[in-house]
């Protein structure tokens, strides 16, 4: 079987041609960042509504607008599919795109439980197609700079990760955020990011897990506090629809502390020794930040890879496992 990368090279092309399913906010933000990459091109969008697809295509200058996802999957020009549908549809949408032989970049969480992810991972391997969960945070230069500071020993011994992500989300029983049918809840929507940061910096399983959870009247979680106890280290994590939180990531060591504001979309990071700032990094970007992920994923596809080195399948499996354990304490 000829790979997407080989076909592109044989045709003298160096850009991966992408299609997006869904026309929501995240899809729009992702589309807007194509202008900042040099190895990818957005050419098509699909929606269940032709008018919505047409409007999105006009907004971003796309050549093709489909009124069904299936038509996009069947388009031979498309190399990769970005899945930006609600959480509960990620599994079926990603699997359908893989079945059509497309590379898949699926928004987080890639599935709503570990069993779905294991089936999806196995199917991608069977189809020999690229698959990655869109944990864009891992690709931000500021997050990678923080990782470098830790690896260089600039904070001393790592002892604690603190991360919270929360905004007041007005209650609406029919909205995606609060609907059990659409896999709503703060943990799946926002809480995956603090958990992802704990895993990124700790890279081991907690020995103990403590959780408090408040639920909305629809039954979904709207405020969650988590403590991962690793023995000598801890991770204090929180997410909420009930109130705005500090929305910072702290990576704390025996000698210094890293602070990353708005860490899920990080553009800068600070290094402190005591109360004194001793270093600072900013990526100075003009983009929203999806371009870092998009550039890396598109290069993976051009290189013939089937998964990312930065966000491999094993990381997605671990995030699914940790979230399932947290949910088990609700």
- When divided into structural domains, the chain yields a total of 2
Q: Is residue 320 part of a domain?
A: no
In order along its 330 residues, the chain shows pLDDT tens digits of 455 555 554 545 589 999 999 999 999 999 999 999 999 999 999 999 999 999 999 999 999 999 999 999 999 999 999 999 999 999 999 999 999 999 999 999 999 999 999 999 999 999 999 999 999 999 999 999 999 999 999 999 999 999 999 999 999 999 999 999 999 999 999 999 999 999 999 999 999 999 999 999 999 999 999 999 999 999 999 999 999 999 999 999 999 999 999 999 999 999 999 999 999 999 999 999 999 999 999 999 999 999 999 999 999 999 999 999 999 999
Q: Is the peptide bond before 109 cis (omega within 30 degrees of 0)?
A: yes
Statement to judge: residues 100 and 195 lie in one domain: no
Specify the CATH number for the domain of residue 297: 3.40.50.720
Given 17, 102, 108, 318, which residue is catalytic?
A: 108
Domain containing 224 equals 141-282
Statement to judge: residues 150 and 106 lie in one domain: no
Q: What is the DSSP string of 77-139?
A: T--EEEE-S-GGGHHHHHHHHHHTT-EEEEESSSSSSHHHHHHHHHHHHHHT--EEEE-GGGG
CB atoms within 10 A of CB 195: 23
Kindly provide the b/e burial profile for residues 277-312, where b requires at least 16 CB atoms within 10 angstroms of the residue's own CB. eeeebebebebebbbbbbbbbbbbbbeebbbbebbe
Parallel, antiparallel, or unpaired for β 234-240 and 248-253?
unpaired
108 a catalytic residue: yes
Tokens of 209: 């897990």
Q: Is residue 254 part of a domain?
A: yes
CB atoms within 10 A of CB 43: 20
């Amino acid at each position: 079987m000829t790979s997407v990368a080989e076909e592109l090279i044989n045709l003298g092309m160096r850009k991966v041609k992408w299609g997006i399913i869904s026309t929501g906010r995240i899809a729009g933000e992702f589309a807007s960042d194509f202008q900042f990459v040099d190895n990818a091109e957005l050419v098509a969008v699909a929606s269940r509504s032709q008018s919505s697809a047409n409007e999105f295509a006009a907004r971003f200058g796309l050549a093709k607008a489909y009124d069904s996802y299936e038509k996009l999957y069947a388009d031979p020009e498309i190399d990769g599919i970005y899945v930006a549908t609600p959480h509960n549809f990620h599994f079926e949408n990603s699997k359908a795109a893989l079945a059509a032989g497309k590379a898949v970049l699926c928004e987080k969480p890639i599935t709503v439980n570990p069993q779905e992810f294991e089936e999806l991972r196995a199917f991608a391997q069977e189809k020999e197609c690229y698959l990655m969960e869109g944990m864009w945070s891992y690709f931000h230069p500021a997050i990678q700079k923080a990782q470098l500071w830790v690896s260089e020993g600039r904070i001393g011994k790592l002892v604690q990760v603190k991360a919270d992500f929360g905004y007041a989300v007005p209650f609406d029983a029919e909205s995606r955020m609060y609907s059990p049918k659409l896999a709503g809840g703060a943990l799946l929507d926002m809480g995956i990011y603090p958990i992802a940061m704990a895993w990124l910096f700790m890279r081991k399983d907690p020995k103990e897990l403590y959780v408090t959870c408040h639920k909305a009247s629809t039954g979904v979680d709207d405020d969650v506090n988590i403590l991962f106890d690793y023995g000598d280290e801890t991770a204090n994590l929180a997410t909420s629809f009930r109130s705005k939180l500090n929305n910072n990531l702290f990576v704390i060591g025996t000698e210094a502390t890293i602070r990353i504001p708005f860490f899920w979309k990080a553009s800068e990071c600070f290094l402190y020794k005591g109360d004194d700032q001793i270093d600072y990094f900013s990526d100075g970007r003009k983009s929203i930040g999806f371009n870092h992920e998009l550039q890396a994923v598109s290069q993976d596809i051009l290189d013939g890879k089937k998964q990312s080195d930065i966000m491999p399948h094993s990381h997605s499996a671990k995030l699914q496992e940790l979230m399932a354990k947290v949910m088990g304490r609700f």
